[in-house]
Amino acid sequence: MNMNAQRGFAAIIAVIIGVIIIGGGVWYLSFSNEAVIPESDEVMEEEGTMMKEDSDAMMIETDDEMMMEESDDAMMKDEGGAMMSDDILFDGNVLAGSDSPYVEFNKADFDKALASDKLVVLYFYANWCPTCKAEQPKVFEAFNSLTGDDVVGFRINYNDNQTDANEVALAREHGIGYQHTKVFIKNGEQVLKSPESWNTSRYLSEINKALN
């Protein structure tokens, strides 16, 4: 083989080797990209799952907060009534107290209180009675001092121009002969009856004794 032929053959071999090298490089890059893409998809899928879980957790937390706010609202004092801790809603006018309210008598509220396990305190009040008027601020102060929710008081109209038939019947049931008489009812039974005039400390003392 002459010199020119040898050079030509060497050039062909060089070209073939170059094609092989370039082709191998292209194939390697292509294979590497294909190997990376699934990993990228998996990462994106995991991130999507994490985002969804975070979103679900935020929705649950929001729902919990709304339930807590609704519960707090239910415990707040409503216009013309008071919400007790055991969800007794009194519709009558609240004269004093919060957790343990002192309410103007109405039959519906009184029946709710009797059906509960609360101590029910009755004050038979006449709007013409000086003793009743003088004693009311002491009743208010006593109920405002109560921190529990196990007492409810009612001011019952007695022999005045605001007394209704239900109040007349209640006075007869408990044998009330004088205005400013106090009656305690617990578990449906009368446990105290007193026509005496009380100060604030006497109210609190008698209430605590009746609860214990």
Can you name the residues that pair with 121 across neighbouring β-strands?
A: 153, 184
Q: What is the pLDDT of residue 36?
A: 43
User: Which three-class secondary structure state does DSSP give residue 194?
Assistant: strand
Q: What is the pLDDT of residue 119?
A: 96
CB contact set of 106 (below 8 Å; sequence gap of 6+): 91, 92, 166
Q: What is the pLDDT of residue 59?
A: 55
How many other CB atoms are found less than 10 A from the CB of residue 186? 15
Q: Phi-psi category of 73—alpha, beta or left, where left has phi over 0 and alpha has psi -120 to 50?
A: alpha
Which strand (E) or helix (H) includes residue 52?
helix 3-75
Residue of 181, 93, 166 lying closest to 132 (CA atoms): 181
Cβ contact 125:132 at 8 Å: yes
Residue 186: pLDDT band by 50, 70, 90 thresholds?
Answer: very high
Q: What is the pLDDT of residue 85?
A: 39
What residue spans define the domains of the chain?
Answer: 1-75, 88-211
105-133 pLDDT, tens digit per residue, is 999 999 999 999 999 999 999 999 999 99
Question: Domain 88-211 belongs to what architecture?
Answer: 3-Layer(aba) Sandwich (3.40)
Cβ contact 148:119 at 8 Å: no
Residue 73: pLDDT band by 50, 70, 90 thresholds?
Answer: very low
Q: What is the pLDDT of residue 76?
A: 43
Residue of 113, 133, 117 lying closest to 125 (CA atoms): 133
Q: How close are the terminal C-alpha atoms of the chain, in Å?
A: 126
Contacts 24+ apart (CB under 8 A), 42-51: none
Q: What is the pLDDT of residue 82?
A: 45
8-30 pLDDT, tens digit per residue, is 666 677 667 766 777 666 555 55
Q: At 59, which amino acid appears?
A: M
**Of the ranges 78-92, 93-107, 108-122, 146-160, which one carries the lowest mean pLDDT score?**
78-92
Cβ contact 83:75 at 8 Å: yes
For 34, 198, 206, the CA distances from 135, given in Å and listed in that order, are 91, 7, 15
Q: What are phi and psi of 163, to 5 degrees?
A: -75, 130
26 vs 211, which has greater pLDDT? 211
How many other CB atoms are found less than 10 A from the CB of residue 60? 10
Average pLDDT over residues 59-66: 53
93 vs 88, which has greater pLDDT? 93
Burial class of residue 115 in the structure, from the number of CB atoms within 10 Å of its CB (0-12 exposed, 13-18 middle, 19+ buried): exposed
The whole-model pTM stands at 0.61
